[in-house]
Amino acid sequence: MSLLSRGITVIDAVSRSDQGLRFSEVADVLGGPSPTTVSKILKELIQEDILVKNAMGRYTLSRKVYFWGRAMAFRNSPIEIAKQHMERLHRELKVSVNLFTCIEDSMYCLESIIDPESPSLWQAGRSLPIHIAILGAIFYIPSARLHDEDFRNQEIQRHTYSLSRETLRRMIDYAEKNGLQDDLGAFYPGIHRFAVPLRERGQTAMSLGVGVMPARLKNEEDLRERIISRLQQCQEEIEEFLS
């Protein structure tokens, strides 16, 4: 085993110890090499500020390694992973991309990348009262409620623009059948929106949405299929991380 491999072995063992390891315990982890070899490995790890020796004579991870871990955790948080996918969606498809979550009666836009050629969507970090709860929140709403006629009628009446019962029914049925929302371009003028749920332990934690001008969907025959395919791919990869 090389010196580097032995050093990594020590770091791994120390990281799994709540109180750190004594010199003899480090030697045991390494399989009992000479004290000189153990001293050399520990000395180099201390010089590189990876390990420190505390007042109890135990070797523990340094604050430098702690901050490495914090930085990596931040870069690999669910939001950061979702942001990476959002940036690729925006770059590849030239669309607006939004990441939402829903808490009680408000929606929160966690991240937003706006296509400069599309009508403005919601700004990141803004709490939104749900005037039409189904839009963007369909995956947070229990199926029984979605199929309740009184609920549907309330949503239609709340909607600023004309919305037919048939359009609402088609959107709900499509979302339940395919696990993907297609709002049919009926909810906001100038925007056709698609969205997928991002589930954690079977519950919808966030929803990832794409907004595109209806005219582009008409002019680019394969755009709808490309959007759906890429959203589903992003969904699969983000949910794999969440699990």
Q: Which of 53, 72, 91 corresponds to the end of one domain?
A: 72
Helix (H, G, I), strand (E, B) or coil at 60: strand
Task: Please name which of 74, 187, 41 lies closest in space to residue 122, comparing C-alpha atoms.
Answer: 187
**68 and 82, same domain (yes or no):** no
pLDDT score recorded for residue 175: 96
pLDDT score recorded for residue 194: 96
Task: Please name which of 125, 130, 144 lies closest in space to residue 187, comparing C-alpha atoms.
Answer: 130
Look up the CATH number of the domain holding residue 51. Answer: 1.10.10.10
Task: Please name which of 52, 60, 193 lies closest in space to residue 136, comparing C-alpha atoms.
Answer: 193
Phi, psi of 141 (to 5 degrees): -100, 130
Helix (H, G, I), strand (E, B) or coil at 70: helix
**87 and 41, same domain (yes or no):** no
pLDDT score recorded for residue 128: 64
pTM for the full predicted model: 0.67
**26 and 132, same domain (yes or no):** no
Domain that holds residue 39: 3-72
**CB 51 within 8 Å of CB 61:** yes
Query: Mean pLDDT, 10 residues at a time, over the chain (243 residues)?
Result: 80 86 91 89 88 90 72 64 92 91 76 71 56 80 92 84 89 95 88 93 90 92 95 94 83
